[in-house]
Structure 1
């Protein structure tokens, strides 16, 4: 005699099979939904990649989204003829300087906020967070006047120094430092370890993954800057890649390959941050989940 499940009214084996089937169906639907979302996110990149290989970048129908044969020539023209490699080099130098300077300042600030007995320390931290509420364009006019008075316009200092302070990086590092066991700190104090040595020998090795993730975030942020370099830099040879895209569009607009050249520059601009995100995806995910520790 077959035993009937008292809750569902079906034999246990049938109930298990139906449950497994429902789970497989829900997982399949979830995978399909994820695949569609990923495809929609990648669609603009795929279109830009296809258009960058065509002689004429004008797309009017779906049939035009077929890879062309001018990829090598388009990328050669963008990098060599229009000098886009110089814009990318300027962006890379800017991003590296910003990452190194911002990381150093944020480490020292987080060290002071967590391990030093400062008067009104919590108030100082709230003031640091308050700077996140100020829109960036609001600071452009006084910051531009200051840069001009210092004589830093049209220089690397103009596009790097204003980005060296970061409330977001200070917040992330502070939260991570708070998750380090207090016993380790007390042991370091008993051993006579100074603050600089404690930072270099203990905190940085224990925070390597978080520091890498924060560095990737800061690099992508600095690499994508457009408005401030456009305002503070007048010399074309000193411009960054994001501004170089608009210059590339202006130089190529009179020819037949205007949009293909713009998409070529867009793909070139996308490669460095995309490579970093792929290479350091694990530290980046750990940085995003730091508050859960």
Structure 2
């Protein structure tokens, strides 16, 4: 029987509430700033309650009437980010599934060597690979394109490793039963492995979608056309350097809009995300 300790329970809840407040307070300030004019924001003290310019500021952000270094509409930038994140997430999962399937279920020379060669790429910092990768993308005329934003980021050693470890837990009896039923490799992959992997796929999709959405360094290098800016780069371009005044209300509205898609992905797929993480630990 578990002993109830009211004082300990209250303390744990207070700590959790404090943690939520610490995380939520900057978001609240950003939302409040997105509902005021730029002049009201820089006044001391800054308003702590929402203002009356919510519709004006968000309309200005969505339709591109913002100041700063970028006047591209946020809707266009969010579309670029969404397409890039979807292609990166789906591409990583598809390639990793096939790679792990080949490494686990096909017998060919040096298969373990190829797996560890893939795995070793985790030890290479992004900064080490980014120069040669940029040169290849530039030579292939892929700058300012969806291909340039996504193709170099599709390979995933982490996802390959996780799927390999999951496939190794599948009983050999299941493989033999499928073979006796006349299932070939592709049918076994489609009818057996994919259904068993759906929770792991969902968990990895959430992680990889957020990874693709939050990309900053790579898009900063390969995009110079405003129509190809992801929203993260668009926010950076809105902030003027030097003594130039920034429209912080529009910038904060853009930041709030940029948080909606990844937040929706997490909320809508939360059940599968948690189950996938739990299954991965078994």
TM value normalised by structure 2: 0.90
In the alignment, which of 123, 127, 139 is matched to residue 129 of structure 2? 139
SS in 2 for 1:225: coil
Q: Please tell me whether the aligned partners of residues 200 and 280 of structure 2 are also in contact (alpha carbons under 8 angstroms).
A: no
Q: Please tell me whether the aligned partners of residues 249 and 261 of structure 1 are also in contact (alpha carbons under 8 angstroms).
A: no
Residue 181 (structure 2) pairs with residue 191 (structure 1): yes
Residue 278 (structure 2) pairs with residue 289 (structure 1): yes
1:171-250 paired onto structure 2 within 5 Å: 171-250=161-240
In the alignment, which of 61, 64, 75 is matched to residue 58 of structure 2? 75
Q: Report the equivalent of 2:75.
A: 85
Q: Report the equivalent of 1:9.
A: none
Q: Please tell me whether the aligned partners of residues 59 and 65 of structure 1 are also in contact (alpha carbons under 8 angstroms).
A: no
Q: Deviations over 1:84-127 (max 9, x none)?
A: 11111111111111122222111100101221223333332222
Deviation of 1:32 (Å)? 1.1
Question: In 2 relative to 1, CA 168–59 (structure 1 residues): closer, same or farther, beyond 3 Å?
Answer: farther
State the alpha-carbon separation in 1 of the partners of residues 172 and 258 from structure 2. Answer: 44
Flag structure 2 segments of 5+ consecutive residues without an equivalent.
66-70
Question: In 2 relative to 1, CA 281–150 (structure 1 residues): closer, same or farther, beyond 3 Å?
Answer: same
Q: Report the equivalent of 1:49.
A: 31
Q: Deviations over 1:158-182 (max 9, x none)?
A: 0110011001111221222222232
Q: Report the equivalent of 1:58.
A: 42
Deviation of 1:144 (Å)? 1.1
State the alpha-carbon separation in 1 of the partners of residues 254 and 128 from structure 2. Answer: 30
Q: Report the equivalent of 2:68.
A: none
Deviation of 1:48 (Å)? 1.0
State the alpha-carbon separation in 2 of the partners of residues 283 and 211 from structure 1. Answer: 9
Deviation of 1:39 (Å)? 1.5
Deviation of 1:199 (Å)? 1.2
Deviation of 1:60 (Å)? 4.1
SS in 2 for 1:64: coil
TM value normalised by structure 1: 0.86
Q: Please tell me whether the aligned partners of residues 172 and 290 of structure 1 are also in contact (alpha carbons under 8 angstroms).
A: no
Indicate the RMSD between aligned Cα atoms, in angstroms: 2.0
Q: Report the equivalent of 2:8.
A: 26
Q: Please tell me whether the aligned partners of residues 110 and 171 of structure 1 are also in contact (alpha carbons under 8 angstroms).
A: yes
Deviation of 1:271 (Å)? 0.5
Q: Aligned pair count?
A: 271
SS in 2 for 1:267: helix
Question: In 2 relative to 1, CA 88–29 (structure 1 residues): closer, same or farther, beyond 3 Å?
Answer: same
Q: Deviations over 1:114-161 (max 9, x none)?
A: 212233333322222211111112112111111111111121110110
State the alpha-carbon separation in 2 of the partners of residues 34 and 118 from structure 1. Answer: 51
